Amino acid sequence: MIPTLWRLLAGRTFAAFATALIPTTLTLAVVGTGSAGDLGLVLACEMVPMLVLLPVAGVAADRFPARRVVLAADLVRAAAQLAVGVLLLTGPVRVPALAALSAVTGAAVAFGTPAARTLVAAVVAGPERLRANSRLMVAQGLASVAGPGAAGALMMGIGAGWSSLLTGALFVCSAVTLGGLRTPHRAPAGDRPGFLAELREGWAETRRHPWFLANVLGHGVWHLAAGLLLTLGPLIAVESLGGEAAWVVIAQAGTAGMLAGAWAAGRLPVRRPLVWVAVASAAFGLALAALGLRLPTPVVAAAYFLGLGGVGLLSPLWETVIQQRVPAGALGRVGSFDTLISFAARPLGLAVAAPLAAVAGTTGPLLAAAVLVAAANLGVLLVPDVREHREREHTFALR
């Protein structure tokens, strides 16, 4: 029998790779219509339900067994992608239908995200969680890197329709792999308070953790700044750093840093994980400042390596801290607020980057973002429970 940890890792990797295939496949399929508005509509129809339904999904993740919620979410995503494949194979691109299926996919993502966090906490013992989260981050990072290239190759080799059918099959593999995991028994829904009461209880539990709220604010600023960097970075590289090849080098350095940070997270001697999280988050300011000052490409690449290395390091640590400190019965609801801020802030950064650059240029916004990222995340260290609390030795044990 496959060990639980490896089954969890395989299932989440299937889902991550399938998720990474979707944007490129849809983009290349819809762009053939010649309308940027069509592409924006399809992508927005996935994002909006995701944001709206996250609080509801947090309640579901706490009310029902995590494996069942993840199973249902993966099967819904599989059905949506299989339907997309059939649509693309049987006729011209039909934007309204693709938009509707994107909305279904976004709703499923909303329900699957907090449930995935509770699933890890339910099936992995406390001392093993950091190593598990580190491995999951590495696997998901590799999948996100490979996904766009694989989607492009599939598009050229077999077409968008077959690529979407393969994506649906990968979600089925995830559902089958994770659906059999055993999780602790949950109280039947009839024994629990109503939805609104549970939502209020989740917010009350969230407010009980100042360390959580402070970090979520800092992470929101980070995601906002990442949206600025991803929009303005390529422009600066093309205009001032030697062209498109410079941005490719910088982006690859960042990817390598993220994977290295995630790999290191499960192997470092961590006693105050939230201090590590704060410093690692603030490191992203290095990349923002280097780009804003238009430093030479090798320097920007090194700064981006360190900045995304911090992201790779903090993600497993942050997941593990939440899973350890938040009561299991409220983990989905509390975690959904974290995800909501993250999902909302980056599109906002992407949206405001170009207008800001048109008014103030690229240097000012990036340097201001660097200062804000450093201040918001290092400011978390002012919270006593962040800098004074030491995790019990067995909690972050290294294996």
pLDDT digits (tens, 9 = 90+) for 295-350: 999 999 999 999 999 988 988 999 898 888 888 888 888 888 888 887 788 888 87
Average pLDDT over residues 54-78: 88
Q: How confident is the model at residue 299, as a pLDDT?
A: 93
Residue 394 has pLDDT above 60, yes or no: no
Q: How confident is the model at residue 296, as a pLDDT?
A: 92
pLDDT-derived band at 399 (thresholds 50, 70, 90) equals very low
Residue 362 has pLDDT above 90, yes or no: no
For residue 225 the two structure tokens come to 């700044």
Least reliable range by pLDDT among 27-41, 89-103, 288-302, 330-344: 27-41
217-265 pLDDT, tens digit per residue, is 999 999 989 888 888 888 888 888 888 788 888 888 988 999 999 898 8
Least reliable range by pLDDT among 125-129, 242-246, 264-268: 125-129
Q: Which residue has the tokens 């969890």?
A: 8
Percent of the chain with pLDDT over 70: 92
Half-sphere exposure in the Cβ direction for 353 (13 Å, CA): 27
In the chain, alpha helices (H)? 4-30, 36-63, 66-90, 95-123, 129-157, 160-179, 195-207, 210-240, 244-265, 273-282, 284-292, 297-325, 331-360, 363-378, 384-387
For residue 14 the two structure tokens come to 């299937």
Least reliable range by pLDDT among 137-141, 156-160, 208-212, 246-250: 156-160
Q: What is the mean pLDDT of the chain?
A: 83
Instruction: Give the Cα separation of 150 and 24 in Å (integer).
Output: 9
pTM here is 0.82
Q: How confident is the model at residue 136, as a pLDDT?
A: 85
For residue 76 the two structure tokens come to 């819904």
1-27 pLDDT, tens digit per residue, is 457 778 888 888 888 888 888 887 877
Helix 210-240 × helix 273-282 angle, to 10°: 30
Residues 6+ apart with CB under 8 A from 306: 257, 283, 286, 287
Residues 6+ apart with CB under 8 A from 74: 15, 108, 112, 171, 172, 174, 175, 178, 179
Q: How confident is the model at residue 75, as a pLDDT?
A: 93
For residue 285 the two structure tokens come to 């300011």
Q: How confident is the model at residue 37, as a pLDDT?
A: 66
pLDDT-derived band at 396 (thresholds 50, 70, 90) equals low
29 compared with 32, residue with greater pLDDT: 29
Amino acid at 370: A
For residue 291 the two structure tokens come to 């780009």
- Report whether 99 contacts 41 (CB < 8 A): yes
Q: What angle do CA 81, 13, 248 make, to 5 degrees?
A: 90
Instruction: Give the Cα separation of 175 and 37 in Å (integer).
Output: 33
- Report whether 136 contacts 121 (CB < 8 A): no
Instruction: Give the Cα separation of 73 and 15 in Å (integer).
Output: 10
Instruction: Give the Cα separation of 61 and 54 in Å (integer).
Output: 10
Least reliable range by pLDDT among 28-42, 92-106, 142-156: 28-42
Question: Residues for the chain: how many in total?
Answer: 399
Q: How confident is the model at residue 331, as a pLDDT?
A: 85
